[in-house]
Amino acid sequence: MQPIIIALTGKGGVGKTSVSATIVKILTEKYPDKKILAIDADPAIGLATALGVMPKITLDDIRNKIIDSVENGNTKDAMELVSESRYKIYDAIVQKDGFAFLAIGRPESEGCYCRINSYLKNVIEMVSNQFDYVVIDGEAGIEQINRRVMQKVTHLLLISDSSRKGIEVIKTIHKVAGRMVDYDKVGAVFNRVEDISLLGNVDIGEIKQLGVIHSDENVLQYDAGGRSFIELPEDTAVVLEMKKVLHNFNIF
């Protein structure tokens, strides 16, 4: 079976990481027997904290090792590292109760190193294919859409707050994703909405609105305290609404 790959994007600070962590919580509880992978695609590695994970190495650490060898002229070592990276990626995966975790770091930062990057892209795809559900917490903004981790997803989830800027960003991402991302379904979630009437005149064109999450005191508390979102209470706004969203998105 092909994995269900849910990728979250949107403007900075709109709640991508909080919502990603909540999705992982919901999926692990609903599907204890399924293989679930959480991918932190934001170099700031916020999802690790939200899921109570301590990543040892990132995919970018592996990539940098290869690049160092190339730059030091150790081409043979570099080639060995490339073929080993298929196994090294498993060192980068942290296994937790009910889910696995992988941090990307900063892929494709400086320089091209195209062959290494496209090789690692295949490695990510290979790993994803061994899971039933993959949740990708993206970096803020549009750049990520051009990057390899977002190229093939089944469900593209656009997150916005009620601000004009947040909404413009999801509309732009939607437009660009039409060309750049091979996705099956796309939809939007409004998060941290204080006043629902603010969404009254919002026009998101043909993007389906999947849900609205109100301000949730627990999210702030868990975030501030560095507590794992896996332990969020069941009756908190973000958990209740995201269950509806996943249902509206045909994930369950």
Ligand X SMILES: Nc1ncnc2c1ncn2[C@@H]1O[C@H](COP(=O)(O)OP(=O)(O)OP(=O)(O)O)[C@@H](O)[C@H]1O
Footprint of ligand X (CB under 6 A): 12-18, 42, 46, 140, 191-192, 213, 215-216, 219-220, 223, 238
Q: What DSSP string describes 26-41?
A: HHHHH-TTS-EEEEE-
- Quick one: what does residue 12 bind among Mg ion, ligand X, none, with the CB cut-off 5 to 8 Å set by partner type? ligand X
- Quick one: what does residue 178 bind among ligand X, Mg ion, none, with the CB cut-off 5 to 8 Å set by partner type? none
Q: Report the C-alpha gap between 193 and 101 in whole angstroms.
A: 29
- Quick one: what does residue 216 bind among Mg ion, ligand X, none, with the CB cut-off 5 to 8 Å set by partner type? ligand X
DSSP state of 52: T
Closer by beta carbon to ligand X, 89 or else 213: 213
Closer by beta carbon to ligand X, 14 or else 149: 14
Residue 230 CB, nearest approach to ligand X (Å): 15
Output the CA–CA distances (angstroms, integers) from residue 143 to 148, 176, 225, in the order listed. 10, 10, 30
Closer by beta carbon to Mg ion, 34 or else 227: 227
How buried is 231 (Cβ within 10 angstroms: 0-12 exposed, 13-18 middle, 19+ buried)? exposed
Q: Report the C-alpha gap between 230 and 135 in whole angstroms.
A: 14
- Quick one: what does residue 79 bind among ligand X, Mg ion, none, with the CB cut-off 5 to 8 Å set by partner type? none
Closer by beta carbon to Mg ion, 84 or else 223: 223
Give the residue among 152, 142, 160 at the shortest CA–CA distance from 6: 152
Residue 48 CB, nearest approach to Mg ion (Å): 11
Closer by beta carbon to Mg ion, 70 or else 134: 134
Residue 203 CB, nearest approach to ligand X (Å): 22
Q: In the numeric block, which tokens belong to residue 150?
A: 């977002």
Residue 240 CB, nearest approach to ligand X (Å): 11
How buried is 93 (Cβ within 10 angstroms: 0-12 exposed, 13-18 middle, 19+ buried)? middle
Tracing tokens 């109760």 back to the chain, one arrives at 97
Residue 219 CB, nearest approach to ligand X (Å): 4
Closer by beta carbon to Mg ion, 16 or else 25: 16
Residue 140 CB, nearest approach to ligand X (Å): 4
Binding site for Mg ion (CB under 5 A): 16-17, 46
Give the residue among 25, 5, 245 at the shortest CA–CA distance from 133: 5
Closer by beta carbon to Mg ion, 9 or else 17: 17
How many other C-beta atoms are found inside a 10 Å radius of the C-beta of residue 136? 28
Residue 216 CB, nearest approach to ligand X (Å): 4
- Quick one: what does residue 155 bind among ligand X, Mg ion, none, with the CB cut-off 5 to 8 Å set by partner type? none
How buried is 58 (Cβ within 10 angstroms: 0-12 exposed, 13-18 middle, 19+ buried)? buried
- Quick one: what does residue 18 bind among ligand X, Mg ion, none, with the CB cut-off 5 to 8 Å set by partner type? ligand X
